Amino acid sequence: INRDTPLGRVGEPEDVADVMVFLASQQARWLTGQLIYVGGGWTMHQ
C-alpha cells in the first residue's frame, strides 16, 4: 500500500484530525460546500 500511495505511507488518524482542526478554525472560514479527501493522493493514483 505504501508503494501505491503518492505520499508513500498509510495515513494515520492524526492526518484526519489535522484536517478537522483546520476546518474548525478561522482559516477555513471561507470554505463552503467542499469535498475534502484526506487520502494522501490515493484517489488520484487509482
**CA-closest candidate to residue 19, choices 2, 44, 36:** 36
Largest CA distance in the chain: 35
Helix (H) or strand (E) holding 18: helix 13-23
- Residue for cell digits 494515520? 12
Query: Hey, what amino acid is at 26?
Result: Q
Burial class (CB in 10 A: 0-12, 13-18, 19+), 36: exposed
pLDDT of residue 3: 78
What does pTM read for this prediction? 0.73
> Domain residue spans in the chain?
13-45
Query: Does the pLDDT value for residue 11 go beyond 60?
Result: yes
pLDDT of residue 45: 58
